[in-house]
Structure 1
Amino acid sequence: METRRSARLPKYDYGKQGVYFVTLCTYQRQCTLSTVGRDDLGAPSLRLSVIGKIVEHYIRTIPGAYPYVSIDSYVIMPNHVHMLISVLRDDGAPRSSRPTELVPRIIAALKRFSNQDAGRNLWQRSFYDHIIRDDTDYAVKYNYILDNPRRWAEDEYYSKR
């Protein structure tokens, strides 16, 4: 059996103040969260499914559950979710030998609660993250989230299923 390698940056404190770009994929990249269509003017539009609305509900509850966290932007695509998560203050003991795992805890809770409400496993194991390094990096990821519905057919997660 193949050993799975963690996608997290080794020894990085994911409770550290900063911004994190996160991508979650659905189990087997099933298109269960939304559909991408066109509005009356031909612009791309997303229509959330019942499951997509469950996921959105839990995304919106994150700042209430974690007072020093905000969700700056998110998009719920048919088979994946992108979010910019801001940790507004450090969540751990400085220079701790065991860094906090705030961002992974947030994602685990989002997955767990949305799975419970949906009555099934919605998600692939793990998630992708990128630590935002500066304002330019932030702007690139923010715009990527905004443009994701328009670029759905060219998206690496695109599926006609």
Structure 2
Amino acid sequence: MDKYKNKYRIASARAPFWDYGWNAAYFVTICTQNRECWFGEISNGVMELSDIGHIAHSCWHEIPNHFTFVELGAHIIMPNHVHGIIIINKIDDGRNDDHYVARNVETQNIASLQNQTPPKNQFGPQTKNLASIIRGYKIGVTKNSRQIDPDFAWQSRYHDHIIRNAKSYQTISEYIINNPSKWSEDKFYTT
């Protein structure tokens, strides 16, 4: 385990070779603190949203209003987590190569690892990237949810996966859509 300012810390789960502000489709999973089921429950394979679940759902759809370079793929609000595909599609994502051109949703902004210019600063500016999008989403849900229950909280981190090809995009989309029907098999399942 790494140390920072003489304290142990968990190493970043982010890919060090990737700039999360680059155009790509990202599969994200965001969990509630202690995997508490704030968002509702699964009944007969269908997600029934609680009031806080409706907030999480509404805030998800609001993401492109706050980040105009974002398009959304499949998503699902589960009892204690959110799965979704966030597509960053900037007209100019700052890359210096002629190989990469911002692609639209029709090609699902599949991430290419070929001819990637390494990130200029791996800590880089924390705006207009995946972390800032997730942070904004979590803040919006938290602010509104705490009006219903002041104890609502998220897990501090989130999981992401850079989607590399159309087959993976399709598989992940189907996984997200079918997640409620397979809730009892889910690694985040709680009763």
**Pairing 1:21-60 to 2, within 5 Å after superposition:** 21-38=27-44, 44-60=45-61
Q: Which amino acid aligns with 1:129?
A: D
Matched, 1:93 2:131: no
CA change 1:85–1:123 in 2 (3 A) is same
TM-score, normalisation: structure 2: 0.76
- Where does structure 1 lack aligned partners over 5 or more consecutive residues? 39-43
Separation of aligned partners in 2, 1:127 and 1:73: 17
Q: Which amino acid aligns with 1:97?
A: K
1:15/1:100 contact within 8 Å kept: no
- Where does structure 2 lack aligned partners over 5 or more consecutive residues? 1-6, 96-116
TM-score, normalisation: structure 1: 0.89
Separation of aligned partners in 1, 2:179 and 2:91: 30
**Pairing 1:4-153 to 2, within 5 Å after superposition:** 4-38=10-44, 44-89=45-90, 92-94=93-95, 97-98=120-121, 99=124, 101=126, 102-119=129-146, 120=150, 121-153=152-184
2:23/2:93 contact within 8 Å kept: no
Tell me the C-alpha RMSD between the 2 structures: 1.7
Q: Between 57-66 and 123-132, report the one with greater CA deviation.
A: 57-66
Aligned counterpart, 2:98: none
Aligned counterpart, 1:41: none
Superposed displacement of residue 91, structure 1:
6.2
Q: Which amino acid aligns with 1:6?
A: S
1:17/1:86 contact within 8 Å kept: yes
Aligned partner of residue 148 in structure 1, secondary structure = helix
2:22/2:94 contact within 8 Å kept: no
> Following superposition, which runs of at least 4 residues in structure 1 exceed 4 angstroms of deviation?
none
1:16/1:91 contact within 8 Å kept: no
Give the count of matched residue pairs. 155
Superposed displacement of residue 100, structure 1:
5.0
CA change 1:90–1:159 in 2 (3 A) is farther
Q: Which amino acid aligns with 1:109?
A: G
Q: Which amino acid aligns with 1:106?
A: I
Aligned partner of residue 152 in structure 1, secondary structure = helix
Separation of aligned partners in 2, 1:11 and 1:29: 30
Separation of aligned partners in 2, 1:72 and 1:141: 10
Separation of aligned partners in 2, 1:37 and 1:11: 42
Separation of aligned partners in 1, 2:154 and 2:91: 28
